[in-house]
Amino acid sequence: AQSVTQLDSQVPVFEEAPVELRCNYSSSVSVYLFWYVQYPNQGLQLLLKYLSGSTLVKGINGFEAEFNKSQTSFHLRKPSVHISDTAEYFCAVSSSSGSARQLTFGSGTQLTVLP
Amino acid sequence: ETGVTQSPTHLIKTRGQQVTLRCSSQSGHNTVSWYQQALGQGPQFIFQYYREEENGRGNFPPRFSGLQFPNYSSELNVNALELDDSALYLCASTLGTGITDTQYFGPGTRLTVL
């Protein structure tokens, strides 16, 4: 079984400051990792994903994440946040349920960007 | 904009009733997954349909069932509603069933059970 732990439930940060949202996973097999963002009253939007290759993954809206196999982490970073980045962020790992490929999500991190 | 739509946006039901939620996938996407997102939690996998057959199920009882149609639409049915079924229900469409396929989520249906 695979699981995802998001270490911070809430992260407040001032506008233009850097931010890191932490994610750790557990898995007994190869992992495929994702970060999704959810704006208020909306569904989930894919920010970025790690499938293989370079451990530094760049996504949309200036976000990037680094896959660290030894620390089983996939932390999300942005060098300078904007008010519009305020949202809930979910880390997820791709796993299997029978022949289905499902996403197993963490409990989310609420990022609040303050003026 | 993911091209995945869901209806209705909001729904209020009472305990014991039945509900049907609808999802329209991206054209060409043969796979649809349904997730339940309780307040303050991450989404939890309910089940997946591939080419109109259930392809896998999470830890949800049989009163959660689904249908997928040839026109890329699908339904989630929940019988004998319980208070704990109150949640945001999300559908996600995928081109195939590969472990690396990107899932595109709809905006969700907010179900409230009183």
Kindly state the average pLDDT of the residues A43-62.
92
Residues contacting B61, CB < 8 A, separation 6+: none
- Give the chain A residue nearest B57 (alpha carbons): A97
Which tens digit of pLDDT belongs to each residue from A60-70? 999 999 999 99
Q: How confident is the model at residue A51 (pLDDT cuts 50, 70, 90)?
A: confident
Least confident of A6-15, A26-35, B30-39: A26-35
Confidence (pLDDT) at A114: 96
List chain B residues with CB under 8 Å of A44: 43, 90, 92, 105
What residues of chain A lie within 8 A of the CB of B50, using their CB?
Answer: 99-100
Does the structure show a pLDDT above 70 at A91?
A: yes
In this prediction, residue A99 has a pLDDT band, given cuts at 50, 70 and 90, of low
**B73 C-beta neighbours (distance < 10 Å), count:** 15
CB spacing of A98 vs B55 below 8 angstroms: yes
Identify which of A41, A49, A99 has the shortest CB distance to residue B102: A49
Between chains, do B56 and A51 touch, taking CB under 8 Å as contact? no
B57 or A97: which leads in pLDDT: B57
**Burial class, A66, CB count within 10 angstroms (exposed 0-12 / middle 13-18 / buried 19+):** middle
Tracing tokens 């894919």 back to the chain, one arrives at: A46
Q: Quick one: pLDDT at residue B32?
A: 93
Give pLDDT, residue A60.
93
More confident: B63 or A42: B63
Residue-by-residue pLDDT tens, chain B, 114 positions: 678 999 999 999 999 999 999 999 888 888 999 999 999 899 999 999 988 999 889 999 999 999 999 888 999 999 999 999 999 999 999 887 777 778 899 999 999 999
Tell the burial category of A15 from Cβ atoms under 10 Å away from its Cβ (0-12, 13-18, 19+).
Answer: middle
Q: How far from the centroid of its chain's Cα atoms is residue B79's Cα? A: 14
Tokens 């509900």 correspond to what residue? B19
